[in-house]
Every structure is written in C-alpha cells, then in structure tokens.
Chains A and B, each alone.
Chain A
Amino acid sequence: SQQGEEDPQALSIQEGENATMNCSYKTSINNLQWYRQNSGRGLVHLILIRSNEREKHSGRLRVTLDTSKKSSSLLITASRAADTASYFCATAAYGGSQGNLIFGKGTKLSVKP
C-alpha cells in the first residue's frame, strides 16, 4: 500500500537549474522523509521533516510540508550532474506498526551537463 506518491515520475533539467519534486500522501503522519538513490546503489537519507514543521533546509535542499494539503515538496537549487538520481519520499505515521516507513515510487531526476 503506497502512501506517498511523487510527481513528476521523471524530470530532466540542465545543470544550474532548480529541480522541484512533489509528494502527496493520504493519512496523518508523524514525519516525512526524502531519500536519494543513485543507480544500482542503496538509498541515502536526505532530510526529515516532522508534522509540526513547515520548512527545512540542508545545503542546496529545501523541503516544505503542508499537512492541510497532505503534500511535501523537495527543491534542489543550482543542480549539478551529480544530482542525477531517483528521489523517494517516505512517510511515517503514529504508533506501533503504523510508524513503519512507506515509500513512494520515486522521481527520476536527470541533470544534463
């Protein structure tokens, strides 16, 4: 059962441009996380935003969370070829097994030099 759904499924931009990916979810959450996966590798955690937070920054990454719309966005500024990867959002609800992360299908980002 997929909770988070990323949009778009694929995104192609030029180096230096900004990349924005969106994630929508269905039920109340404790936190929402973004992960990056380079081709053939494991996932790497990028940022975690809790339900009482609206915005977080980490380097060139900016994440927003709108709990009223049940959506989040990940902005990568001044993209580089090395940002080429798949990006996944994952949500954690409250309590017991509901706290297990549920991953979306991901956005495939291609940054052309």
Chain B
Amino acid sequence: NAGVTQTPKFQVLKTGQSMTLQCAQDMNHEYMSWYRQDPGMGLRLIHYSVGAGITDQGEVPNGYNVSRSTTEDFPLRLLSAAPSQTSVYFCASSYGTGETQYFGPGTRLLVL
C-alpha cells in the first residue's frame, strides 16, 4: 500500500494565482483532513471530510476549498494565493474522526 500520497512536493506561486494540492489514500479510510504547519506552530486543521460527498470547515478554512467525490481523493484548492498561505500542507486519513491518523509527506508552498 502507498498509504497517503501528496503532490506536488514543492510549489512556488505568485500572489493571486490558484492551484490544487492533490491528496490520495489507498487504505479505504472514511475520514480525510488537511492541515497547515507554520514555523513553531502545531498543525492547524483547514478542512476535513467524514466520507465521500461530505466536507466541513476546520479552524482555518478561509482561502481554501475542498471536495470529496471519491473515498480515495481529497484535493485542496487555493482560490487566490496570498503570502500568508506560505506554509507546509499535510493531508491525513483515518478510519474515523479522532482515530489514528496517517499523514502524507507534505507539500511545501511558497507564495511570492
């Protein structure tokens, strides 16, 4: 099993550009989530999904959209990138809310 995969590994954007961060898991997990990690901070929840077709906002959702059309995929869209969105983004999945989470390797995003 590949576990949780994320692409790209690294991306540079200009302010105002949009992009999609990809996340996929092959463990048939119902719960998937996106976090951002900033220096000296823990992880902050952006959006999460408890199953295909169901998404909800986390702690810091502004400027991001998600969708969950399949169990496997949970892309994160940046609508109009801002320098404040410079961060490392992690996708994770688990069998259920609050259970052990399996993390992807992360996407490092720099917005100029």
Question: Residues on A close to B: CB < 8 A?
Answer: 1-2, 4, 30-31, 33, 35, 40-45, 48, 88, 92-93, 96-97, 99-106
Interface residues on chain B, size class: 20 to 34
**Across the interface, do A42 and B42 meet the contact criterion of CB distance under 8 Å?**
no
- Chain B residues with CB under 8 Å of A2's CB are 42
- Chain B nearest CB from A89 CB (Å) reads 9
**Across the interface, do B42 and A100 meet the contact criterion of CB distance under 8 Å?**
no
**Across the interface, do A101 and B42 meet the contact criterion of CB distance under 8 Å?**
no
Residue of B44, B45, B90 near A43 (CB, 8 A) is B90
**Across the interface, do A100 and B103 meet the contact criterion of CB distance under 8 Å?**
no
**Across the interface, do B58 and A100 meet the contact criterion of CB distance under 8 Å?**
yes
Q: Indicate whether B48 reaches chain A with its CB closer than 8 angstroms.
A: yes
- Chain B nearest CB from A5 CB (Å) reads 9
| B13-21, B61-69, B73-81, B93-101: which lies at the interface | B93-101
Residue of A1, A30, A43 near B103 (CB, 8 A) is A43
**Across the interface, do A48 and B100 meet the contact criterion of CB distance under 8 Å?**
yes
Q: Indicate whether B41 reaches chain A with its CB closer than 8 angstroms.
A: yes
**Across the interface, do A100 and B97 meet the contact criterion of CB distance under 8 Å?**
yes
- Chain A residues with CB under 8 Å of B96's CB are 99
- Chain A residues with CB under 8 Å of B100's CB are 33, 45, 48
In the complex, the 6 A-B pairs of residues with the closest C-beta atoms, listed nearest first: A92-B98, A99-B98, A42-B103, A103-B42, A99-B97, A103-B43
**Across the interface, do B90 and A42 meet the contact criterion of CB distance under 8 Å?**
yes
**Across the interface, do B42 and A45 meet the contact criterion of CB distance under 8 Å?**
no
- Chain B residues with CB under 8 Å of A33's CB are 100-101
**Across the interface, do B43 and A43 meet the contact criterion of CB distance under 8 Å?**
yes
**Across the interface, do B42 and A88 meet the contact criterion of CB distance under 8 Å?**
yes
- Chain B residues with CB under 8 Å of A92's CB are 97-99
Q: Which of A31, A42, A93, A105 has the most CB of B within 10 A?
A: A42
